């Protein structure tokens, strides 16, 4: 069974006002202190001082992955609380913020090179790693999962607000993230050799600093023997994160089986895939999406059902079908993070209340009554 690892980026906020706080170095120092006392160190800095990242250990059983995510979120919350702040699983800050770039030579290079693109890039994503047997299998997977990635944007959308305003997008993080020159859908590579040559050529231009800046929607990890899917917003509800991981493992396994059977990838070009991603970013689950098979509009629930049916055999083989069905039904019933944030704002009239309630939801499964 393929292993799964999850990386989540969390927003550091003032527990009272909800405003982002540039205290990641202090929070990481607390985490390092606790790690020295025996607690596993799972936290890392990110581009901005207002965010904190963690990475789970690889898991094969989804209930164990769920426990890992909850444990890491709880530890992040405790470390933050020790510094007088809180963590929120928000993909963008609802309140106005002036992002502060973290220290280190790499981040300073990025800030100098990319200017406002880097300065404004205070966004929090969820990256899912699925183990593959080889780079050749991994590239075959990348070639075959491309049309389905936009559906994951719609499911995870959790960034409706930007600098104190409604962006009119469900995932505005996707729009901000797309400003990086290497971000977005990739071509069909056909082989691991071609993939690696393209990466070398991109770095050779000097526009990108290193392989870590290959920001394809899905890529071969440069650190682990995994395919890394990078399109999702960080999810408000940890159950949604687990659902994403289940579906992505299903996509990877299904694609690997197609490759082994000699089935070619769908030939949708990058331009159509960009339109599908934009539609998912704009509307989430509230409108029509572009169907991955036809690239024509269809109701969101129809498209989500098509994704589920596409990976059903893999889910059956992993014992994930029933829990995934239940989690997906719950997500369609209650809405994604963007829907929940807008509902809180409608109820309270306050973006500060949106943040403070999302601090609670970051560790819990259901909104407060």
pLDDT at 368 exceeding the cut of 60: no
Mean pLDDT of 217-235: 97
Q: Express each pLDDT in 101-124 by its tens digit.
A: 998 999 999 999 999 999 999 999
Residue 74 lies in a domain: yes
The radius of gyration of the chain's CA atoms, rounded to the nearest angstrom, is: 19
Residue 366 lies in a domain: no
Beta bridge partners of 299: 288
Residue 292 lies in a domain: yes
pLDDT at 84 exceeding the cut of 80: yes
Tell me if 222 sits within 8 A of 282, measured CB to CB: no
In angstroms, the CA 339 to CA 345 distance is 10
Give the residue with greater pLDDT, 36 vs 289: 289
Q: How many domains does the chain have?
A: 1
Please, which pLDDT band fits residue 37 given cuts at 50, 70 and 90? low
Mean pLDDT of 120-149: 98
Residue 368 lies in a domain: no
Q: What's the confidence (pLDDT) of residue 34?
A: 74
Give the domain CATH number at 335. Answer: 3.30.590.20
**By residue range, what is the domain housing residue 317?**
4-361
Residue 223 lies in a domain: yes
What percent of the chain lies above the pLDDT cut of 90?
Answer: 93
- What is the rounded average pLDDT for all residues in the chain? 95
Residue 369 lies in a domain: no
Q: What's the confidence (pLDDT) of residue 314?
A: 98
Say what the pTM is.
0.96
pLDDT at 38 exceeding the cut of 70: no
Residue 367 lies in a domain: no
Q: What's the confidence (pLDDT) of residue 129?
A: 98
**Dihedral angle sign, alpha carbons of residues 20, 282, 341, 130:** negative
Residue 215 lies in a domain: yes
Helices (H) and strands (E) in the chain, counts: 14, 11
Terminus-to-terminus CA distance in the chain, angstroms? 39
């Amino acid at each position: 069974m393929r292993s799964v690892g999850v990386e989540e980026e969390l927003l550091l906020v003032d527990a009272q006002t909800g405003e982002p706080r540039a205290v990641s170095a202090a929070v990481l120092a607390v985490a390092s202190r606790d790690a020295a006392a025996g607690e596993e160190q799972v936290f890392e800095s990110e581009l901005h001082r207002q965010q904190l990242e963690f990475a789970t250990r690889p898991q094969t059983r989804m209930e164990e992955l769920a426990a890992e995510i909850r444990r890491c979120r709880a530890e992040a919350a405790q470390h933050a609380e020790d510094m007088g702040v809180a963590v929120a699983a928000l993909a963008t800050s609802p309140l106005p913020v002036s992002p502060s770039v973290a220290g280190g030579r790499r981040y300073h290079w990025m800030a100098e090179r990319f200017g406002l693109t880097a300065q404004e890039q205070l966004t929090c994503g969820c990256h899912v790693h699925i183990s593959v047997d080889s780079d050749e299998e991994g590239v075959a997977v990348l070639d075959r999962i491309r049309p389905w990635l936009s559906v994951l944007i719609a499911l995870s959308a959790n960034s409706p607000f930007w600098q104190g305003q409604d962006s009119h997008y469900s995932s505005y993080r996707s729009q901000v993230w797309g400003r990086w020159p290497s971000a977005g859908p990739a071509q069909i590579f056909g082989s691991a050799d071609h993939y690696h040559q393209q990466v070398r050529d991109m770095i050779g231009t000097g526009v990108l600093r290193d392989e870590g800046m290959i920001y394809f929607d899905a890529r071969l990890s440069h650190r682990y023997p995994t395919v890394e899917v990078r399109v999702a917003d960080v999810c408000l509800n940890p159950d949604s994160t687990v659902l994403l991981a289940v579906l992505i493992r299903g996509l990877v396994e299904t694609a690997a089986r197609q490759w082994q059977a000699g089935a070619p990838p769908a030939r949708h070009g990058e331009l159509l895939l960009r339109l599908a991603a934009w539609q998912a970013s704009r509307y989430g689950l509230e409108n029509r999406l572009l169907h991955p098979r036809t690239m024509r509009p269809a109701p969101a629930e129809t498209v989500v059902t098509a994704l589920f049916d596409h990976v059903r055999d893999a889910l059956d083989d992993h014992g994930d079908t029933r829990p995934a069905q239940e989690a997906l039904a719950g997500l369609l019933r209650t809405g994604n993070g963007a829907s929940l944030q807008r509902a809180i704002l409608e109820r309270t009239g306050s973006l500060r209340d949106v943040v403070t309630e999302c601090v609670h939801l970051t560790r819990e499964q259901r909104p407060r009554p």
